[in-house]
Amino acid sequence: MSEIGTWEPWSGPLAPRTVSPARPVKRKARVNVQRETVTEIRSLEQRLANPGARETNESLAGLFAPGFREIGSSGRMFDVETVLGALGSVAERPSRSVISLEGFRVERVAPNAVLATYLAKVPAGPGWRPPTLRSSLWVRQEGRWQILFHQGTPAAEGRNP
């Protein structure tokens, strides 16, 4: 996979805000996420983690928000075209291992955004990889959820999200 050459900070409504150290940050109470949203986000994550034989780059491309970025467990940055290329090659392998999503959680971070976190595991055997902690930022745009950011981090032994 190729990596993105430079990192440009986000702008817009989801951009991190700078806070003066003299003023403490007021934390809002967490807002519960509807069960339907959790089910939908888990299903979308499952499609990306385990693309089926029927999935095409075109069917998966609609899941990515404009400006999508990924920080892989290798520490490299990837754009949507690179990720789609990798997903396409994975879907074409008949004996690929299924990635399980354990400890799956979804938290609302803005009215139109949720953060999904989980531990991704591949069973021992062909295609085995060490478990990774994963997080994905999903935004609701034009009536559908799209992934804006994803990160995979090698999990310390015995750790769950």
Domain boundaries, the chain: 35-154
**Reported CATH class of domain 35-154:** alpha beta
Pinpoint the alpha helices (H) of the chain: 35-49, 57-61, 80-91
pTM for this model (two decimals): 0.74
Q: Please check whether residue 71 is in contact with residue 92, taking contact to mean a CB–CB distance below 8 angstroms.
A: no
- Per the model's pLDDT, the better-predicted residue between 126 and 76 turns out to be 76
Residue-wise pLDDT tens digits, 19-35: 445 555 555 555 578 99
What's the rounded mean pLDDT across residues 112-116? 97
Q: Please check whether residue 135 is in contact with residue 116, taking contact to mean a CB–CB distance below 8 angstroms.
A: yes
